[in-house]
Structure 1
Amino acid sequence: MVADREIVISRAIGAPRELVFEAFTQVRHLSRWWGPEGFTTTTRSFEFRAGGVWDFVMHGPDGTDYQEWITWSEIVPPERIAMVHGESRDDPNAFESVLTFEPAGEETRIVMRTVFPTKELRDEAVEKYHAIEGGEQTLRNLAAYVTELTGNGTTPNGTVPKGAEG
């Protein structure tokens, strides 16, 4: 049974799906919003493609560094990203996450479904690492970031969005 090994977090974000998806595709975006409140990110390497890796360190507000490693297992722009996330390439406790980006009128509903190898690892993530609150904060940071991008009249790549010309 998967239900006792998974965490599902979702949020409506007031931006077009393509823009929300794009915020995941480049490290210059990710480094601005990734992680719970108070965390910062230092990237060692980043390649956004199926089989590509994001090797990074998250710096907690208390000064603790967390080694992180993600490999992208599936990328279907702009609707789905699947990844394996652990501390390192060979982490036996790595977990799988699938993010879906669903258009919802003027907004985008992002759903983050994470499945852990065991119920115990899921429970530890929730109790010790506050995975649910952290996931909610991460999506809140993403929402604030893309809202900021849309508020200045340009998309992250510097082009003017369709319909916003002149």
Structure 2
Amino acid sequence: MAATGRDAPAQSATADREIVISRVISAPRELVFEAFTEVRHLSRWWGPEGFTTTTRAFEFRVGGAWDFVMHGPDGTDYQEWITWTEIAPPQRIALLHGESHDDPNAFESVLTFAPDGAATRIEMRTVFPTKELRDEAVEKYHAIEGGRQTLGNLAAYVAEIVQKGVED
């Protein structure tokens, strides 16, 4: 008997435009959420390995923006702009990310923070306007590996905070 639509595995209508990256971080979700939402934390861990970040403006509220430059290890500067479209502490953040506030190729990301025992499972689901833009991000900018490294940097940064708390 053939599978019907209801019995077939569900596939997102945006699957060919998505990148989904997740990681379990050994810290309470309130702390992981805070590290993702306060500029004093973000500037310490944001970006793939070898990158640093300079913030020009930061306002964490729906409609607010984070205007920043990512500095690559090869000296290349990447102009970046994030505007927050949904904030539901401590479980969810939605945002629009591009090179500027009017970037026609900006992509949407939804981050979820779920308790996983004493740890937190963070999932970053990014949807690009087109399959071609998603493929370019993966091939030219190594978006999947860069996303994994970014969440790895977050995990290491939060582990430092937890360790300092234990030492105090």
- Structure 1 position 29, deviation (Å): 0.2
Normalising by the residue count of structure 1, what TM-score does the alignment of the two structures yield? 0.92
Given candidates 108, 115, 136, the residue that maps to 2:127 is 115
Query: After TM superposition, where is structure 1 displaced by more than 6 Å over at least 4 residues in a row?
Result: none
1:56-113 per-position Cα deviation (integer Å, ceiling 9, x unaligned)? 0000000000000000000000000000000001100000000000000011000000
- Structure 1 position 120, deviation (Å): 0.1
Pair 1:32-2:38 in alignment: no
Residue 111 of structure 2 corresponds to 99
Give the letter aligned to residue 61 of structure 1. P
**Structure whose CA Rg is larger:** 2
Q: Report matched runs for 1:15-94 at 5 Å.
A: 15-94=27-106
For 1:15 and 1:137, how far apart are their aligned partners in 2? 18
Residue 155 of structure 2 corresponds to 143
Normalising by the residue count of structure 2, what TM-score does the alignment of the two structures yield? 0.91
For 2:51 and 2:32, how far apart are their aligned partners in 1? 20
Pair 1:14-2:26 in alignment: yes
Identity in percent: 81
Structure 2 unaligned blocks of 5 or more? 1-12
Give the letter aligned to residue 150 of structure 1. V
Structure 1 unaligned blocks of 5 or more? 155-163
For 1:142 and 1:152, how far apart are their aligned partners in 2? 15
- Structure 1 position 21, deviation (Å): 0.1
RMSD (Å) for aligned C-alpha atoms: 1.2
